Structure 1
């Protein structure tokens, strides 16, 4: 046998040794390759007997290494017992905050906007001036109306003097009755003219006063829609002032929720005055925080919306710092009663599979039984199960992906389960690192196997 043949056999023996020591790195598919190389290398030695010997040894090593694996351990899961107790039931509704009073500010006369006299976005008082329109035109109209009033008064005095003069003359027959009657009619017409002139003066005075646009309510004034110099009319919206303390929250609820809410909080009065229920509403903001003060349902809508099947409720909340603003998201919650003997499981134990709710129950024999259940309300991190389980049964909350119907599992604590998961992750990382940073001898073995395959 030549030197190269001896080296090849030595290399093959090293591979066989590693196959026994690290069986996962070499598959059974290498058997035929190794046998062919051994047969070729020893074709000049003992008619291939050595090849058969080495091949037999390799097969035995494969068989032995496959028996070294231990039986797979049972999947570990974390379970929780089904609790049965009385729980308060809360109903949540989505609503929108609205100003208690919202006044849209529009001018009452047409003109050019001269000044914006309020700090936009700030609190204003009732009667405070917000805008000014150029008053010159309206002042001129007032002066003209006053002049017309003066003329009307002068004409009235003239007609009165005629009547006073004609009255004794008519009695003496010095003037005709027709002339006297005409004088009286002229006096009455002059009086009417004076009244008309007075009204025109008052209208002109109002128009002039309306060049100062004031707030009709106290509240927060919005940003001005117009700018100085704009020509505004009675249709132009300038801004909006909203009374924010208290603030309204409007939210629609279903008919059933309304009846449950009214029943739990106490019967309504004959007049339907829900404000007598008191502060029974909680308010949750967009960031999840709870408003510090509870609100009172104040108004119930007149009718149920036929398209949605809901009825509108108006709740009122104290808002002393004007933090809540119109249009703001609001989630309203109310206590609607107590659920007697409710069966509770953690929400993470329930799986939604194509619209059906499934729970994996662990039997006393530690076998998995997957059931379809009916769910009710959520209570914090738990879910009320109305059908499908019994009190005291164990449900899987961690390791659901490992569980199958009829499979036997090993219930462990949460800490043990988390520790096993961390160990598994560390092992995976180490395996990947070991593959990258394998010893030189292992890489040499793989090189030999590659060369054998290429041959």
Structure 2
């Protein structure tokens, strides 16, 4: 890298002769190389800067977008609500007499039939009461027989004045009292028999019996809940609608007859918690009598067939149905509509392939589509892919897309 040393007595180019010192300087070849590399670097940087400026100055190609035409058709409008499932009948099983549980006769969670014995209460005290009442009835019937004989014997004697009339009167009153006593004792026997039967705690409906809350050995009474039996086929789905939605329904169906007709025609769908659709359709069952003053909503109920007991009380889901049909609705895919601070806009492509950003008023959703109330016309083209790349007045390159059908 360095030139040879110039010793004492040698001459040094450019500076003449020098003596007595050694000098080490870079060679002229190296200096020329450094200057050459520097010039090349400057030329490279300058050419890149010029190229960038030239590229930025030249206009880019129009963005490619996909479009669909605004369609117009009659659209069924679905409404959807959160629903809670419950048994068609939920019979709370409570004993009607007090005593100790001695047996549970059903398997928890199993299907039981009406009149099946679910629990058994110790019957011995009730059997004893029944036996005692039967004995009292027998005694009363014997006493009644005696009073009847007294009346039969004393009646002719009283006519012949052989005995005082008061004696016959006493016999008659004793006989009437005996009859009343017999009737009372018969009622006591009947009640004792009923109480003895009540030691068999039975199901009053067909359904699925829940887990027992009373255990064998417990002292139970009429206030004790032993279990619940739920009738699950059909099963109820409760959901609430707002007061505004209810009033809109009334406005579309102003008479009782028209409302009842519409309710009979409703076909309910149930979306389960995992997002799957329950395969069987439901029907409208009832509307509550009042609007909740705190929530401003009214409770409705639907019925769904449940032959295999797949649905259980307490499950959550979503109930939906076609609330009405919107005639000649303008439809665009939901992905064509952008929202910013409550304002909805679509990018409309004109005949010159330039974009016009329109503010629109949206209505109901229908599946993947928006119903547009105002702002566009049938047949106009809206951007569905590449919306984020376009601006008002910008030319675009069209790549057509197929519009999604309206529906659920």
Give me the TM-score of the superposition, normalised by structure 1.
0.70
**In 2, Cα distance between equivalents of 1:150 and 1:329:** 61
**Matching residue of 2:315:** 328
In structure 2, the CA distance between the partners of 1:17 and 1:398, relative to structure 1 (3 Å rule), is: farther
Structure 1 or 2: larger strand share? 2
- 1:330-371 Cα deviation digits (max 9, x unpaired): 433333444333222111121222222222333444444332
Query: Contact conserved, 2:63 with 2:390, CA < 8 A, in 1?
Result: no
State the aligned residue count. 373
Equivalent residues in 2 for 1:154-303, closer than 5 Å? 154-253=142-241, 254-259=245-250, 269=257, 273-274=260-261, 277-278=264-265, 280-302=267-289
Structure 2 CA distance for partners of 1:211 and 1:4, relative to 1, 3 Å = farther
User: How far apart in 1 are the matches of 2:294 and 2:182?
Assistant: 59
Q: 1:175 to 1:404 in 2, by over 3 A?
A: same
Aligned counterparts, 1:49-448, within 5 A: 60-61=46-47, 63-67=49-53, 69=55, 71=58, 73-74=60-61, 76-94=63-81, 95-253=83-241, 254-259=245-250, 269=257, 273-274=260-261, 277-278=264-265, 280-302=267-289, 310-412=297-399
Q: How many angstroms apart in 2 are the aligned matches of 1:10 and 1:229?
A: 108
Counterpart in the other structure of 1:46:
none
Structure 2 length as normaliser, TM-score?
A: 0.78
Structure 2 unaligned blocks of 5 or more:
1-23, 402-408
Distance in 2 (alpha carbons) for counterparts of 1:390 and 1:275? 32
The superposition leaves residues 304-352 of structure 1 with CA deviations (integer Å, 9 ceiling, x where unpaired) of 5566565544433322212222333343333344433322211112122
Q: Alignment RMSD, CA only?
A: 3.5
Contact 2:343–2:359 (CA<8 Å) still a contact in 1? yes
Distance 1:4 1:163, change over 3 A: farther
Q: What secondary structure, in the 3-state scheme, does the structure 2 residue paired with 1:294 have? A: coil
Q: Take 1:354 and 1:255, find their aligned partners in 2: how far apart are those partners?
A: 29
Q: Deviation of residue 389 (structure 1)? A: 1.6
Displacement of 1:383: 1.0
